[in-house]
Structure 1
Amino acid sequence: MSNKIIDITGKYGREIKDIRHKLTQLKNGRIYDLSGVQGDGYLSTNINQLKEMLTELIYKIEYGKDSDNDKLSDLFK
């Protein structure tokens, strides 16, 4: 097995967790269109949020930007 060159899962764990959570919510039918709960948001809103989350994560990876965890740890230094 070869060694990782970059640990994306470790570095961007918070962003990945947020994307997984959004996907789980959608999988479980947590959308206003089905549940009638406004806090769940419309399907189109959830899809747009997911697109933005993925775009932001890819940008951070491609340009070597700090992860959310990096930013939080800087606050406590």
Structure 2
Amino acid sequence: MPQEVVLGVRKVLEEQLEVNLSRLAASDDFSKNINFFFDLASMVDVEIVCALEEEFSIVITHEEAGNAHTTQDIVELVSRKIQMRT
């Protein structure tokens, strides 16, 4: 996985959530404990998706976002989207 993608995703998450994610593991699953990545009722989640799209010049669908539950899922999704545009 390209290091710039990992660092970019972490930067976006830290900025949008306004927290230090240095202790975050790639396998941490947000779907069960804080349901953070994509919940249609949450503007924070929409802002995260928009920030990722802007940071990496990609488009993330609702379905793709809904299937991303861990940091690793998010990084892999962003990486796939970057590869698709080249």
TM-score > 0.5 by shorter chain:
no
Which of the two has greater helix per residue? 1
Q: TM-score, normalised by structure 2?
A: 0.31
Q: TM-score, normalised by structure 1?
A: 0.33
